[in-house]
Amino acid sequence: MPETPHSAAVTTTDHGAVRVITVNRPDKLNALNAATLDALQAAFDAAAADAGVRCVVLTGAGSKAFVAGADISEMNTLTPVQGRDFSLRGQRLMRRVEKMPKPVIAMINGFALGGGLELAMCCHLRVAADSARVGQPEVNLGLIPGFGGTQRLLRLAGRAATLELCLLGAPIDAARARELGIVNRVVAAGELQAETMKLAAQLAASAPLALRGVIDCVNVGGECGIEEGLEYETAQFGLMFSTDDMREGTDAFLERRKPAFNGR
């Protein structure tokens, strides 16, 4: 499949209805600098707008790293105001990914540290190679997570694990990350791409509007009280009855055939 560069640092490749977005800085272990954050923002904007894309897989180039963190050589020169702006730039990207109307899978092929783990956590699902290592090591640089790490890790793994990872700054292996709920699945490194693409193909064949409804409900419910979350879920549930996909899905079930969803 032909690659589409959004900059030298980010490329995209389509596999049917699945778009693979790759951070392409293997010589820097795919570290996130300002230009890479902007290129990722553009790549996710394009995927959201493309009706032919039903699922996105995010990964890093090479075998060593998904994303090994933010680019320390760039951060080293920042003033306090520039540091805050860099954090806001990263936060905008993370929220963009988190609120994507299509499922996003992080394919964690190596180190996912600092900004890399923050980027993986804002994806909807995470599949990690058994050789991968994840963590929030910012304290070792005299910093704290700046792209949402304290907040998303808290929601995924709880207070104790968040404090352990952020205060100690030590990475953990994929198996431990799975135990804590930070990643959904751990597979052999040699099977990572095949297993992730299999999962992506399954999502790409599912009802797009229903998938979006689930993502929206979980995002809203994670940021409000249960009564508001239930009310939002009920509204979304009712809305599904106006879709062709709901009729197709229920007809296919009753007729004992595979549904063909069209996203309408």
CA 216 to chain centre: 15
Strands (E), the chain: 3-7, 10-15, 18-23, 55-60, 65-67, 104-108, 111-113, 125-129, 133-135, 172-173, 185-187
Give dist(CA 185, CA 170) in Å, integer. Answer: 21
User: How many residues does the structure list for the chain?
Assistant: 264
Using 50, 70 and 90 to split pLDDT, how confident is the model at 204?
A: very high
Give dist(CA 131, CA 193) in Å, integer. Answer: 14
Is the pLDDT reported for residue 139 higher than 90?
yes
Return the active site residues: 118, 138
Q: Hey, how many other C-beta atoms are within 10 angstroms of the C-beta on 245? A: 20
pLDDT reported for residue 226? 94
122 within 8 A of 98, measured Cβ to Cβ: yes
pLDDT reported for residue 20? 98
CA 192 to chain centre: 16
149 within 8 A of 229, measured Cβ to Cβ: no
Residue linked to tokens 């990722």: 40
pTM: 0.94
- Report helix, strand or coil for 5: strand
CA distances from 167 to 155, 157, 164, 171, 205 (A): 17, 15, 5, 11, 42
pLDDT reported for residue 168? 97
- Tell me the per-residue pLDDT of 218-258, one tens digit each, with 9 for 90 and over: 999 989 999 999 999 999 999 999 999 999 999 999 999 99
Is the pLDDT reported for residue 48 higher than 80?
yes
DSSP-derived secondary structure letter, 164 = H
Which domains are seen in the chain, by residue range?
3-204 (3.90.226.10), 208-254 (1.10.12)
Sheet holding 185-187, edge to edge: 3-7, 10-15, 18-23, 55-60, 104-108, 125-129, 185-187
pLDDT reported for residue 4? 61
